[in-house]
Amino acid sequence: RNSRGEAVAGASWLLTHLHDATTAEAIALQRGLELLEDLGCQPVIVESDSLEIIQACNGVIEIWSPYSAILADCFQKALRIGDVSFTHCPREANRLAHNLARHSFDSNSTFVWDGDPPGFLFSDTVDDVTLI
């Protein structure tokens, strides 16, 4: 979203053979930061419903797990982007992300858009802005 709350781009990747949900969140963060870097977005507020990932990104906790290397890459990407902050967002407050992930799972595909969101996500973009 931009500073006016308008959806400008998004993506969802079909991830298979993952050990746990937190690893999926770490990979999603990594790929999301790649997208932000490609688009030249700044400043950036990264929201996730994974409290563990957000706490690690903010230096509140240290994680030693299989996805530690992924988070280290995320830190480097955030430094290259520049003005990046990380905040926890309850799952209920971000239906757009949930429905986008479900679409990739149900369609067994990766999905990326730039500009206006696809029709199946339009009501979610409006509802999420209304909650802000």
User: pLDDT tens across 22-44, in order?
Assistant: 888 899 899 999 999 998 888 98
**Greatest alpha-carbon span in the chain:** 40
Residue 56 lies in a domain: yes
Tell me if 57 is assigned to some domain. yes
For 112, phi and psi rounded to 5 degrees? -135, 140
Domain count, the chain: 1
- pLDDT: which is higher, 122 or 42: 42
Is the whole-model pTM more than 0.85? no
107-118 residue pLDDT tens: 777 777 777 776
Q: What span, in angstroms and rounded, lies between the C-alpha atoms of 60 and 110? A: 32
CATH of the domain at 69: 3.30.420.10
Q: What domain range includes position 95?
A: 9-131
